[in-house]
Structure 1
Amino acid sequence: MRERLRHGIAARARRHWRLLAAAVVLGAAAAAAAAATGPGPQAVVEETTEEVLALMESRGEELTGDPVALHEALAPILTPHIDFQGISAQILGPYWRRADEATRERFIREFQRSLLRTYASSLEEYDGGVALRILGSRRRGDEVQVGMEVGGGEAPARVIFQLHERGGAWQLIDLTVEGVSIVHNFREDFRARLRDKDLEAVLDEMAARNREIGFQ
């Protein structure tokens, strides 16, 4: 099961932007990367990734068929280490700044659920045989980047986790797969939708899709 998971990450990284959403969930493995009193960035990435993979190895068949159960199982591991508010603000831009607090909270909730829904669908493609290799970390201004190589051979996929510090903890703020940023992709997608609809209508659509798979 673990080898199937690793293969799926690499395959989708090369051929479909939706992996970006899946990877941000798995990519929260990088989230605590530069904590002063904890393990170094490479150790944190490796250990947290292994924790997620171990969960999927032990409960994979059960969780891939139940996105709500998957969300409940992964949230305690990953949610504290993803800056969903910061990511949402980047994606919505001026729409975020104009939204009231209730609308912002609703977007964060439905966006998080959508990521888990995409992650669940991506698990269907995992079919074995690809390794993960940590490339190291570097600081860029107030942020830290942690690199990971997914897959062996001549053309492994390159994943970069981008973190910043909030409230004394390092959190994931963006993720790049093969040079493509998740924030950029989601920003383009949502702004295209918002050209024809207001934010409440877009949120209603997101909530309806999430309810279809069991989120209340």
Structure 2
Amino acid sequence: MLTIYRGPRRPIPSLIDLPLLLMSQTIFFSSQRPRRWWLTPLLLLLLSSPAPATALPPDQLIRQAVSQLIDELTAHRAELETDQARLYAMVERTIVPHIALDKVARLILGNHWKSARPEQRSRFAEAFKNLLIHTYATAVFGYTGAEEILYKPFKLKANERLGVVPTDVNLPGTAPVPVNYFFLREKSGQWKMYDIQIDGVSLVLSYRNQYRQMIEADGLDSLIESLARKNAKD
């Protein structure tokens, strides 16, 4: 049975501008799916709730985060709009704990991860983490949240380490967008996200395709320095 979460019936502004915003954050987008990728910061928003003391299964983690997100933005919007440092700190506190950054970094770099030195791996993971923080912080005030999220049936076997939470995101005037959240269970028992698939396209693979070209052209250090410069400007 589908479970539907209906968000507040308020307009979501600047939808046309969000793909351009994300492109400026060095995310690669397929020109055939320009209206889909503005969802990326929204999907990060869905994970932006404090990590629970006990490990929640992935589907419950997403459901809980949706309602907590709206409450936090409503309570602190004015302060966050005027204090960039506080905004970045809030993003790091709420988003980063839910993302398996080492796993994401390895998947994005692919074969280049194997040849990278330990300090390069660390620098890339840090630069990519800051990219996510700045992307979220830039986009957070562009909309209020999804109007309707359909949670499809989710089953998880005992001792399963990987899970996929399937959903559809519905917005006024658009067809439902299938969104799959990919989670892994760490040794601590906590579930963390390592990829989002939007309309059949993997966010991690999109980054990998773009970054692979940059690495092959100029090297991994050049990519890391480029990300660091971009983050410093933001």
Residue equivalent to 1:174: 195
Secondary structure at the residue paired with 2:136? helix
1:76-115: per-residue Cα shift (whole Å, max 9, x none)? Answer: 3332221010011000012111122221111111101111
Matched, 1:164 2:181: no
Q: How does 1:86-125 map to 2 (within 5 A)?
A: 86-125=103-142
Matched, 1:150 2:169: yes
Deviation, structure 1 residue 28: 3.2
1:29-50: per-residue Cα shift (whole Å, max 9, x none)? Answer: 69989x9x65554332111222
Deviation, structure 1 residue 202: 0.9
Residue equivalent to 2:68: 51
Matched, 1:184 2:205: yes
* TM-score between both structures, scaled by the size of structure 1: 0.78
| Structure 2 residues without counterparts, runs of 5 or longer | 1-6, 19-32
Percent of matched pairs sharing the same residue: 23
Letter in 2 for 1:188: N
Distance 2:10 2:94 in 1: 17
Deviation, structure 1 residue 132: 2.5
1:111-149: per-residue Cα shift (whole Å, max 9, x none)? Answer: 011112222333354267722332232449741111232
Query: What is the root-mean-square deviation of aligned Cα atoms in Å?
Result: 3.5
Distance 1:131 1:151 in 2: 5
Residue equivalent to 1:197: 218
Matched, 1:206 2:230: no
Secondary structure at the residue paired with 1:95? helix
Distance 1:184 1:119 in 2: 19
Distance 2:47 2:162 in 1: 15
Residue equivalent to 2:45: 26
For this pair of structures, how many residues does the alignment match?
209
Secondary structure at the residue paired with 1:136? coil
More helix by share: 1
Sort the Cα spacing of 1:117 and 1:18 in 2 relative to 1 into closer, same or farther, 3 A.
Answer: farther
Sort the Cα spacing of 1:41 and 1:198 in 2 relative to 1 into closer, same or farther, 3 A.
Answer: closer
